[in-house]
Amino acid sequence: MKCEVKEVAPCRKSIKIEIPAEKVDACYADTFKILGENVQIKGFRRGHAPRAILEKKYMKEVEQDVRNKLFQESFTEAMKENDISPMGDPEIKLEELEAKPGEAFSYETEVDIRPKFDLPEYKGLKLVEKINPISDKEIDEQIDNLREHFTNYEPVEEKSKQGDIIEADVVAKAGDEELINEKAQRVKVDGEKIFGLEYKSLVKKLSGLGKGDEASLEVSLPEDFHKKDLRGKKAKINLTVTQVLRGELPEVDDAFAQRLGMKDVETLKNQIKSNRETELKQAARQQIEQDAVDMLIEQSKFDLPEEFMKRQTESALMRSTMQLARMGATKEYLEEQKSELEKTSKEETERSIRRSIIFDAIGEKEEIEVTEGEFQRHIELLSRNYNTTPAKMIKRIQDNNGITAMAAEIRDIKVTKLILDNAEITQEEGGK
């Protein structure tokens, strides 16, 4: 096999390969041999049909198989011989290549390659883990949320007061543009927000209303409002009350705690505290993981393959756009946010690729591999999270060609653990 490699850009190489005719013929011979052993041709015993008969019936399929096999084997061999680590697939249209018997098979392609760089010191990183203590006020707020969940609101004839819910027909406008026109919308007479918009005197404004009463509020639209031309402008919200709903919050006593499966109030508070501490520890762990990655990225200097970056950024942008569309974002909003989404997608993609390259290098240096047992345990964990069986989870992953990605994910978990196990971590209060 002849192989010519040229650098066409930083982290991008051109690969020109030619496979001699005798190797092409040998590949055809092997493919027809296997085919003959696995198909039944009328009038011949299995494995004894002449090649001429097989060519007449299956030549097109065999040519495709030979082409694909020659390409895959030669490309893999070229990467190994030239110590090239490709990123992504080579740019080539296989269907346009021809592998003819008696002729050499040749092609030229370009491939993005993994950059080579000096790996920074990843052991002994100085990291700060910040965790806020759990306050009694925070525990009480969570208990109040639970009480709210167990409250049944019923219509009353009285005027509204703090803690009630008013049901109203709502019309909201910014100038002549209508933002809301909905019937039977519920608004809590509490807090300082209405439909997600700030209104400091909300309780005072909505208290004392009864069926048939009207109220009008003026609010400022936020700077990130989905309609760009209305950002920062005033909007007027008109409400016509259809009914007032009131409920009695349950007392915080042992009976209430038992409704939640707890022995008493003290046990309930301890459980809330424990759950919150776990959440904060997980958040703090995620933050120091991000800090460690940021440090390594800052200390690692290498170019990124432009075409690979471009393709990955486009994919990330498409995912973000589709997610926003599923959440109800309008075409106009998506168009307005296009430049910001492009910027965010590019930044996140670059960080992800740099992290992957650095982790690959650490994994290779430390000879970190994923064992069968680790793979199975990861599958079991995912199956529990998705409330399915390990067998179904494996099939789902296979159907989405995700086996390699999962192995990389497990490898990254092991690399992260190695980094943090060898880091100098100090703890401080004040995390969010």
In the chain, what are the domain boundaries?
A: 2-112, 152-246, 265-428
Q: Which residues of the chain have pLDDT under 70?
A: 430-432
pTM: 0.75
Instruction: Tell me what pLDDT residue 430 has.
Output: 66
For the segment(s) 2-112, the CATH number from 3.90.1640.10, 3.40.718.10, 3.10.580.10, 3.30.70.1050 is: 3.30.70.1050
Q: What's the confidence (pLDDT) of residue 325?
A: 85
Tell me the fold of 265-428: Trigger factor, domain 2 (1.10.3120)
Q: State the pLDDT at residue 243.
A: 96
CB 237 within 8 Å of CB 217:
yes
Instruction: Provide the CATH number for the domain formed by 152-246 in this structure.
Output: 3.10.50.40
